[in-house]
Structure formats: C-alpha cells, structure tokens
A and B are shown apart, each in its own frame.
Chain A
Amino acid sequence: MRRIVITGMGAICALGHDAPSVWKAMTEGRSGIGPIHHIQPGQLRNGGIAAEITDYDPANFFDEARRALLDPFSEYALIAANEAIRQSGISFEGEAGTRTAVVIGTGAGGETTRDDLYERLYGEHQGRFHPLGIVRMMMNAPASQVSMVHGITGPSFVVASACASSNHAFAQAAMMIRTGMIDAAVVGGTEACITLGTLRAWEAMRVLAPDTCRPFSKGRRGLVLGEGAAMYVIETLESAQKRGAEIICELVGTGMSSDAGDIAAPSDIGAAAAMNMALRDGGLSPGDVDYVNAHGTGTVANDSTETRAIHRVFGEHAREMVISSTKAMHGHALGAGGAIELVAAIGAIHDGIIPPTINYLEPDPACDLDYVPNVARERKVDAAISNSFAFGGLNAVVAVRRMA
C-alpha cells in the first residue's frame, strides 16, 4: 500500500493567522473565545460569545478582483492552502497538477453571503441581488478557488458531514492516493459560521454555552462556535522523498462510521467504531496511541459519550495515554474542526507538547480520563488520533504517526 505523508500545513482561526501562531497559542493554553464583534449584543439570547478570527483584513491577503469572488469561508481555505503549499514546496506544473486533488470539508457553506442576500430580500425588500452571490456561497467554492489559484486540475470537491467534514475529507483524499488515482492532495476544512442566522439556529438547539467552553469538566454548559480553516499538502512518501521535501509526519489511517440512531444525540458505539477503524487502517494497536485530540465539544452529552467510547476502544491503555480538547481555545469550527485540531495532533508529535483542555474546573465522574487540564504538558508522542463526531451520527477519525 502507498504510504501517505504530510509535507505542508496551514491554518487560520481565532488563535492566529498561520499554523505556527495557532500551534503556539495552543501550547500556551490561550483562549480565542470572546464577545462577538460583528453582531449587535441584543440580537442574541444567550451569551453572544464565539471564537472569532480577529485583526483580520482580507485586503492583506487578496487583490480586489479575487476578493469579489470570495465568501469568508473561501478566504480562510485559500489562506490556509497557500501557507500549506508554500511550506511543502510542491509544484503543480504539468502532469503533477492533473495528479493532485483538492478535497475540503465544510459544514455550513457561504453563510455570510447568504445572510447578506436574505437580509436584503426579506428585511429590506430589495429586488436586486449581487450577481456574484452564487459563486461566493456555493458549497464547492473553496475547493474551486484553491484549484484555480494553484492550477490543480485533478479531482476537486467539497465534503459535507457537519462537524466531521474535515476528517471525512482526509479520508477521501487518502483513499484516492492509495488507489493510485492521484499522487498528492491539498486537503482540510473551512468554516465561517459566525453569522446572526447561524447563531440563532444553534441557540434554538440549546447547545451553546453562555459562559465559555469547558470540555470534559464538571460544570460544562455547552459548545462555543468558532471559525477558520486548516489545510494540508499530503502526498505519497515516494513523491515527497523524490522532491527532497521535509516530511512533517505520516498520515497512517482514517476511520468512518455512522450511528444510524438519533439525529442529534451522540453514540459511544458509533464513535468507537470510527476510532477502531482508524487504528486498523493505520496498522496501529490501541497501545501505540499516545495522544487523542478529542472531539470534546463541551456539551454534557458529547464529552461523557466520547469518554465511554475511548474506554471501549483503548481498554486499560485509556488511562495511560492523554486526551485533550482544543475546542476551548479555538471554539467549535464545525466543518473545519478536524482540520484545525490536526494542528494539535501534529504539534504534539513534532514538539512533544500536549496542548491542554483549558477552562477546566473540576472532574466530572462521567469523564474520568486524563484530559491535560488547563496547562500544557511535555510528553513524547509517536502516534495520535483526532476525533470528529457530527450531528446526524456521522463519525470520522484520522490517525497520524511520527515518520519512522
């Protein structure tokens, strides 16, 4: 089987505008959660907090002609993809471009554009829509933009599975490389969901925390939405070695499963099935895994269910490894979640630092593992998995390992 390695990584979220800044903030346990800037306080019922990207001006990243085509969810994807491609040093000239894919996970799509258009239509009763509305808000826009900007002419598409979209995207890209259809992929996830419409819909589900996100902690009250993107260059080991590229780590396996149960309530059996499949696919035994970057949303149901799933998969080893949720720092970026969180798993392997689960108050008996509360910890990590479990019962897990 063809081995797959990661040679480029890019990210933008509430913790920073590039992958090194995001990773540094994670190791410092810094929170990007705060009051929402661009929504008037009285328009939200509950808290009005999110993990927004701050000090951001798209004009610093794109010329005017490009900007006209971009909803923020495409801007973020491009910024992260540009960084990953730059780091990797990969070229898409000639045949290489045809043998490269772009696969991007996203849950919500071009929500800012949609909100603005519908405000004009239903709120202001304006008859005229901007002609670029569709090309900005279509779900596939970020994949199209990355392929256009970089001249990537192989298969490109977007994968949607709500909060598991990124990890499903990694699985699709990895499978295409393994079959020999392509040799490389620009892959990850993006989301720009901090809009009034989206927030009101989430509020109505009663899963948003009014105070902050406290994964696995007693007193947790729900999730906090985030936004951003993370993108990676993955390619065959052979291709990376031939180019003399610096290898960040190996992407060894992916696992996917469906609960086929409740539309919202999580299932420990479904979550465990996805983790087991990722381990099998990656040739890892449970004892090989040193770190789990948890889905860890901060809802009462997710965190206790995920804990039971980890016990199921890892048995006694569950108490020997470490688990953390970085969502308390960058928020729940839905379709971008798995991709942003892979920065944490890769950073742990690379630097031997486990990013903490911040905002942790005290243990909850239903969450009885080592979640690295509040302070980062030094620990050698050779293999890690990153969990994503979506509403709708769709689960996807990615396994990465130090390059041996």
Chain B
Amino acid sequence: MSTVQQETFDIIAKQAKIELDTIKPESTLKDLGIASLDAIEVIFDIEEHFNINLPNEDTDLDNGTVGQLVEAIERQLAQKTNE
C-alpha cells in the first residue's frame, strides 16, 4: 500500500470511526457510512493533511471510490511537485 493510500485510509478511519481494515480501494464513502457533511469533512481533512486542493470534479461523494480519491490526491501531489 502506498504511503498516500495509507495516510488517506487513516484519515477516513478516524473521521468515520471505523476499523482501518474495513476500508478497501473499491469502497465508496457512502459504503463506509460517510455521507453529507461528514464526507465533506473527510475531503477537508485530506486537503489539510496533504496541503492540496481537491477540485469538486475529483470528489464524487456518491459514486466515487476511495481508490479514485487516492488517485486524485496523488495527481494533485504530483502537480505540486512539478510546480
């Protein structure tokens, strides 16, 4: 598991108060019981942690998977390194 994925899963587990090993890359936030403002808070915590901005297009809170979220974070981190 990449560090980014590890750290992201830690943030999600903490916010949702769920066991780390219940989170799979194919889970959606909804599957994990994280809806509405809780999901927005997860995104905020991730942005703060990695110091990135995640555009709304990369944060499909209904159907997007956690794996896709990790990819979006890695894209933003790569872009930050290139700047």
- Interface positions of A (Cβ within 8 A of B): 45-46, 204-206, 210, 221-222, 262-265, 300
Residues of chain A with a CB closer than 8 A to B35's CB: 265
Q: In the assembled complex, how far is the CB of residue A225 from the closest CB belonging to chain B, in whole angstroms?
A: 16
Q: In the assembled complex, how far is the CB of residue B66 from the closest CB belonging to chain A, in whole angstroms?
A: 17
Q: Are A262 and B56 in contact (CB under 8 A)?
A: no
**Contacts A206-B59, A265-B35; A45 near B53 (Cβ below 8 A):** yes
**Contacts A204-B44, A206-B43; A265 near B56 (Cβ below 8 A):** no
Residues of chain B with a CB closer than 8 A to A264's CB: 36-37
**Quick one: which of B36, B44, B59 contacts A262, CB cutoff 8 A?**
B36
Q: How many chain B residues touch A (Cβ–Cβ < 8 Å)?
A: 12
Is B18 in contact with chain A by the CB < 8 A criterion? Answer: no
CA distance A204 to B44 in the complex (A): 8
Q: In the assembled complex, how far is the CB of residue A200 from the closest CB belonging to chain B, in whole angstroms?
A: 12
Is B40 in contact with chain A by the CB < 8 A criterion? Answer: yes
B36-50 Cβ-contact flags toward A at 8 Å (1 or 0)? 110010011000000
Residues of chain B with a CB closer than 8 A to A300's CB: 62
CA distance A262 to B38 in the complex (A): 11
**Quick one: which of A46, A204, A221, A265 contacts B36, CB cutoff 8 A?**
A265
Q: Are B37 and A46 in contact (CB under 8 A)?
A: no
Q: Are A206 and B36 in contact (CB under 8 A)?
A: no
CA distance A222 to B62 in the complex (A): 14
Q: Are A205 and B40 in contact (CB under 8 A)?
A: yes
Q: Are B53 and A206 in contact (CB under 8 A)?
A: no
Residues of chain A with a CB closer than 8 A to B36's CB: 262, 264-265
CA distance A264 to B61 in the complex (A): 15
Residues of chain A with a CB closer than 8 A to B59's CB: 206
**Contacts A263-B37, A265-B36; A210 near B44 (Cβ below 8 A):** no
Least CB separation from B39: chain A residue: A206
Residues of chain A with a CB closer than 8 A to B43's CB: 206
- Name 24 A/B residue pairs within 8 A (Cβ), A-sorted: A45-B53, A45-B55, A46-B55, A46-B56, A204-B40, A204-B44, A205-B37, A205-B40, A206-B40, A206-B43, A206-B56, A206-B59, A206-B61, A210-B56, A221-B56, A222-B56, A262-B36, A262-B37, A263-B37, A264-B36, A264-B37, A265-B35, A265-B36, A300-B62
Q: In the assembled complex, how far is the CB of residue A393 from the closest CB belonging to chain B, in whole angstroms?
A: 12
Residues of chain B with a CB closer than 8 A to A262's CB: 36-37
CA distance A68 to B40 in the complex (A): 40
CA distance A206 to B40 in the complex (A): 7
CA distance A221 to B62 in the complex (A): 13
Least CB separation from B61: chain A residue: A206
Residues of chain A with a CB closer than 8 A to B44's CB: 204
Inter-chain pairs besides A46-B56, A221-B56, A262-B36, 12 sampled, C-beta below 8 Å: A45-B55, A204-B40, A205-B40, A206-B40, A206-B56, A206-B59, A206-B61, A222-B56, A262-B37, A264-B37, A265-B36, A300-B62
Least CB separation from B47: chain A residue: A204
Residues of chain A with a CB closer than 8 A to B40's CB: 204-206
